[in-house]
Chains A and B, each alone.
Chain A
Amino acid sequence: MTLGRLIRMLWPPVLLAAVLIGGWQLVAEYAIKNPEVLPTPSQIVSAGWGQRRAIAHNAWPTLRETELGFAFSFVLAWVLATAMDFSPAARRAVYPLLVASQTVPIIAIAPLFVVMFGFGIGPKILLVALATFFPLAASLAAGFANADADADRLMRSMGASRWRIFWTMRVPGALPFFFTGLRVAITYAIGGAIFAEYAGAESGLGIYLQQMQQVFRTDLVFATVAVIAIGSVALFTLTYLLERWLTPWRKHERAGREVVR
């Protein structure tokens, strides 16, 4: 990507963000005038910078819970979606549970997990997995199901086994679907970890948020929220990089037919 294109792509979001932050600064500074209600962006930045060690100290456990929970969710989604692809009975058995898992309110179940599994990292991993599992498994299952029946016939006429067809045709064909699910899931991941910490933890951004709310440090609450948002956007961006790397053919599909005869 050329620098010119990068600038053309980036100026609208940057401009909009600048306008919003500028407006916020004016409203907070001249209309509200109470940092406990609404601190100015500059106050948030300086407070956050002042407490950067505390925030970083609490960010690591949250990041770790997010990573491990997401990894667990990822593996489980592939195992179940694969089982569902191979066996219609497994599909009928698992799919309703999958949907049900998505409807479980995390806020309700988080305290129960703490009661059952304690204050350690275990219940957090489970909650992140619960929050992210459905979009991963469902998108992957949809990707497998979308495979062309004629491609299946072609490979069978070549003498390919069910596994060979799965790896050679169904998995690569499902990847674009999977990345869509991955992007949805990853935005739930950090949120899931924060919720889990609310229900009980020793450290983490969720705990830090709670503590700062109790002492009316609204500026630090906002600073923490900003860190969470930046982290989520970074993970989201990562999925795009991963997608570009793992599905290099897609950019040609998007570009359309470039070459003729």
Chain B
Amino acid sequence: MTAEFLLETRGLTHEYPRTGQPPLQVLDALDLQVREGEIAAVIGPSGSGKSTLLNILADLDKPTSGEVHVGGGRGVAYMPQKDLLFPWRTIEDNAILGLEVAGVKKKAARERVAPLFEEFGLTGFEYAYPAQLSGGMRQRAALLRTVAMDRPVLLLDEPFGALDSLTRTQMQLWLAETWQRHGWTIVLVTHDIREAVFLADSVHVLSPRPARVTRRFEIGLPRPRNADTFALPEFALLERELLDALLNVSA
């Protein structure tokens, strides 16, 4: 793998067999390159094979051909669309799920996640159950669980998709601010053009099925990003350019 990229796919192709028909090709030689410490947004028309790509990146499915390289060799930490917090576990015990699965003892795992609660706005909710939390808090708890796994790449599948518009914007602002301190490498799969431009360093536009990366945008907006970023003329221009690209591939 090239040292330049922390996550790289080469020629990912995936087909689903169908009875009585030729196999359904979902991915077509998809190349995706993500540098260390960047947020890479993957955006595409619906039905473009994003969930297949997610499954392959999260190592839940093997591609028909092609390769995935993740630096550090420990795979990605996957955050699904739904928060999937277990209702029978407290927020603290939900947060340590990945560590427990990795064989870390409960007590040690709790000690490791404890310092994260303040940053994630969950102080005082360590022993609450998920049903006691609002949608935004649940999403932050799910992200905490993902970060706590301590893997080199975070793979987020439309993390704020289910939230109302205001909460979603608050979460985007919060993520931009928190990312600034940690410099996580993130692959962000999203439908939301504004979210992609606001959060990402690079935006990868997928074609309709079978999916390839048709365009790669570098988002050079200044960091740290905050509410003022939305008002930058470049922001509006990038949003417009990305919209055009998506309308083109969808046409």
Contact = CB atoms under 8 A, between A and B. Distances in A.
A157 B86 CA distance: 16
Interface in B81-122: 81-82, 84, 86-89, 97-98, 100-102
B contact face: mostly helix, strand, loop, or mixed: loop
A154 B84 contact: yes
B132 A258 contact: yes
A149 B114 CA distance: 29
Contacts of B89: 172, 249
A162 to B, nearest CB: 12
Given A154-B78, A157-B78, A168-B97, A249 B84 contact: no
A148 interface: yes
Interface residues of A, number: 28
Interface string A223-261: 000000000000000000000000101001101111111
A32 interface: no
Contact of B86 (A172, A252, A259): A172
Contacts of B58: 153, 157
A158 B101 contact: yes
Contacts of A173: 86, 88
Interface size bucket, B side? 20 to 34
Contacts of A249: 87-89, 129, 131
Contacts of B60: 153, 156-157
30 contacts: A148-B82, A150-B80, A150-B81, A150-B82, A153-B58, A154-B78, A155-B97, A156-B60, A157-B75, A157-B76, A158-B102, A158-B149, A159-B101, A160-B101, A164-B101, A168-B100, A172-B88, A173-B88, A175-B88, A247-B88, A249-B87, A249-B129, A252-B129, A253-B87, A253-B129, A256-B131, A257-B131, A258-B132, A259-B132, A259-B133
9 tightest A-B CB contacts, nearest first? A157-B78, A158-B101, A172-B88, A252-B131, A157-B58, A249-B129, A160-B101, A253-B131, A252-B129
Given A157-B59, A164-B101, A249-B88, 19 more contacts: A148-B82, A150-B80, A150-B82, A150-B84, A151-B86, A153-B55, A153-B60, A156-B60, A157-B60, A157-B78, A158-B98, A158-B149, A168-B100, A172-B88, A249-B131, A252-B131, A252-B132, A257-B132, A259-B125
